[in-house]
């Protein structure tokens, strides 16, 4: 082991200093012990620092190796022109969105305040009442929603707004019949006031069996919402048609839920368990992507998360889920991705009791790899020119 010159110089300096202090024979023994002690201390310090540098190099190498597993080629079949759409990232770019509760976003900021901020944040509300939009609202699950908090806290970012609307309890039917027009008008006024792009997912996961939406009721309600918002002069909302990309309710055809090209700006999918079995996310997902291409719409991954958990002691989830997720996003030319940073065990959401804690900061190495990938120029993050890049010129 060779001690570097700067450390040798420091040792000599300490020895000289000790000799100057210890001029008397009675202190010679003390001087010898002192010099030996200082020598050992300085050597151990150097070894420790050298070890830290080596560890950092090993960490950086591992991060690069993890990210290098992502395949970045784009399937030419998914490069096509878009029509009747808005707020689309430029060619070769993907909008990065994070979510999804006040508590979750606050935690995220506590852990990653020195990391680049995403280009957007997601939030939720329900069509029956104007709650969780202009002010905070705590749900029955114990989590809170607050669209306005995102507006106030992140001035140079977009909002991905998820409107809950299901078939159960006649929610969709009542929407189509005008029962909630007062709520739609309030939301429209709020949306116009924030003066930034909003991606509104009307009746998100419309074909999911958990939502029990009849296609005719959904289409009528969807069109009614869009028509009313347009009548109110809202032009900063992109309307998102969001499929669960899994076995559909009552096996209805995907097209049965489609409200028409003039009512849809984006097509979206959810990616949860899909990504654990390679980069092929199954036939239902393929159907949505083919449909989007046929109708010339950009595709968003509106909700995503490795629901089997992110373990604190293992990076296996990176190969099992994240590599497939990012490879799919490149290959299918996905124009926006939204990641839910959540511990599902505390959400108390019916039907997902087996989902686990899947927050990025559970594992430092996984989060390093995440930020290494999303730190690339490909991903649109918060910036003063973000709205311009998305084609929103009213700001």
Total number of residues shown for the chain? 395
Token pair 């010339």 in the structure block, residue = 296
Q: Which of 68-82, 217-231, 275-289, 334-348 has the lowest mean pLDDT?
A: 334-348
Token pair 């991705």 in the structure block, residue = 337
Query: pLDDT tens-digit profile of 130-172?
Result: 999 999 999 887 889 999 999 999 999 999 999 999 999 999 9
How large is the average pLDDT for residues 58-76? 95
Query: pLDDT tens-digit profile of 312-329?
Result: 999 999 999 999 999 999
Q: Under DSSP, is residue 317 helix (H, G, I), strand (E, B) or coil?
A: helix
Question: β-pairing, 357-358 with 299-304?
Answer: unpaired
Q: How many other CB atoms are there within 10 angstroms of residue 48's CB atom?
A: 10
The answer on pLDDT for 17 being more than 90 is no
Q: How many other CB atoms are there within 10 angstroms of residue 296's CB atom?
A: 14
Which residues have C-beta within 8 Å of that of residue 272, sequence separation ≥ 6? Answer: 303, 304, 305, 307
Report long-range pairs for 350-354 (Cβ below 8 Å, ≥24 apart): 351/210, 352/307
The answer on pLDDT for 294 being more than 60 is yes
pTM here is 0.85
The answer on pLDDT for 18 being more than 80 is no
Query: pLDDT tens-digit profile of 256-273?
Result: 999 999 999 999 999 999
- Taking the CA atoms of 341, 345, 350 and 351 in sequence, report the sign of the dihedral they define: positive
The answer on pLDDT for 115 being more than 50 is yes
HEC assignment per residue over 184-201: HHHHHHHHHHHCCCEEEE
Q: For the chain, what percent of residues have pLDDT higher than 70?
A: 85
Backbone angles phi, psi at 6, to 5 degrees: -65, -30
Give the residue with greater pLDDT, 20 vs 60: 60
In the beta sheet, which residues pair with residue 300? 268, 336
Query: pLDDT tens-digit profile of 355-371?
Result: 899 999 999 999 999 99
How large is the average pLDDT for residues 291-301? 98
How large is the average pLDDT for residues 274-281? 94
Predicted pLDDT of residue 33: 57
Spans of all domains in the chain: 5-61, 75-389
Backbone angles phi, psi at 126, to 5 degrees: -120, 140
Average pLDDT, the chain: 90
Tell me how far CA of residue 194 lies from CA of 122, 137, 158, 228, in angstroms.
15, 19, 10, 18
CATH second-level architecture of 75-389?
Alpha-Beta Barrel (3.20)
Query: pLDDT tens-digit profile of 183-192?
Result: 999 999 999 9
Q: Could you give the count of Cα atoms lying within 13 Å of 163 in the half-sphere of its Cβ? A: 29
Q: Under a CB-based contact definition with an 8 Å cutoff, are residues 162 and 176 in contact?
A: no
Q: How many other CB atoms are there within 10 angstroms of residue 382's CB atom?
A: 17
Structure-token pair, residue 128: 């029956």
Among 40-44, 205-209, 352-356, the range with the most confident prediction by mean pLDDT is 205-209
């Amino acid at each position: 082991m060779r001690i570097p010159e700067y450390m040798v110089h420091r040792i000599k300096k300490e020895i000289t200093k000790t000799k100057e202090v210890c001029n008397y024979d009675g202190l010679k023994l003390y001087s010898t012990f002192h010099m030996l002690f200082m020598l050992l201390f300085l050597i151990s310090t150097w070894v420790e620092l050298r070890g830290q540098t080596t560890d950092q190099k090993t960490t950086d190498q591992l991060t690069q190796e993890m990210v290098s597993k992502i395949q970045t080629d784009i399937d030419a079949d998914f490069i096509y022109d878009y029509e009747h759409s808005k707020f689309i990232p430029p060619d070769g770019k993907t909008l990065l969105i994070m979510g999804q509760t006040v508590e979750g976003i606050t935690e995220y900021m506590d852990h990653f305040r020195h990391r680049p901020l995403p280009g957007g944040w997601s939030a939720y509300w329900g069509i029956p009442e104007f709650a969780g939009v202009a002010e905070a609202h705590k749900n029955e699950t114990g989590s809170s929603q607050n669209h306005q908090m995102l507006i106030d806290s992140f001035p140079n970012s977009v909002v991905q707004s998820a409107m809950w609307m299901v078939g159960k309890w006649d929610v969709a039917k009542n929407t189509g019949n005008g029962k909630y027009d007062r709520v739609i008008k309030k939301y429209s006024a709020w949306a116009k006031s924030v003066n930034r792009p909003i991606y509104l997912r009307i009746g998100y996961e419309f074909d999911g069996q958990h939502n029990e939406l009849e296609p005719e009721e959904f289409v009528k309600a969807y069109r009614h919402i869009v028509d009313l918002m347009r009548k109110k002069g809202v032009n900063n909302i992109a309307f998102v048609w969001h499929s669960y990309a899994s076995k559909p309710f009552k096996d209805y055809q995907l097209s049965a839920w489609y409200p028409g090209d003039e009512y849809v700006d984006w097509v979206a999918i959810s990616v949860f368990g899909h990504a654990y079995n390679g980069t092929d996310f199954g036939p239902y997902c393929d159907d949505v992507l083919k449909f989007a291409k046929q109708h010339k719409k950009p595709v968003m991954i509106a909700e995503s998360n490795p629901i089997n958990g992110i373990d604190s002691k293992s990076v296996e989830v990176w190969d099992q889920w994240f590599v497939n997720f990012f490879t799919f996003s490149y290959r299918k030319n996905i124009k926006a991705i939204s990641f839910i940073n959540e511990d599902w065990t505390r959400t108390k959401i019916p039907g997902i009791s087996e989902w686990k804690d899947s927050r990025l900061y559970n594992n430092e190495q996984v989060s390093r790899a995440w930020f290494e990938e999303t730190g690339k120029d490909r991903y649109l993050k918060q910036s003063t020119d973000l709205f311009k890049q998305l084609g929103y010129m009213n700001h």
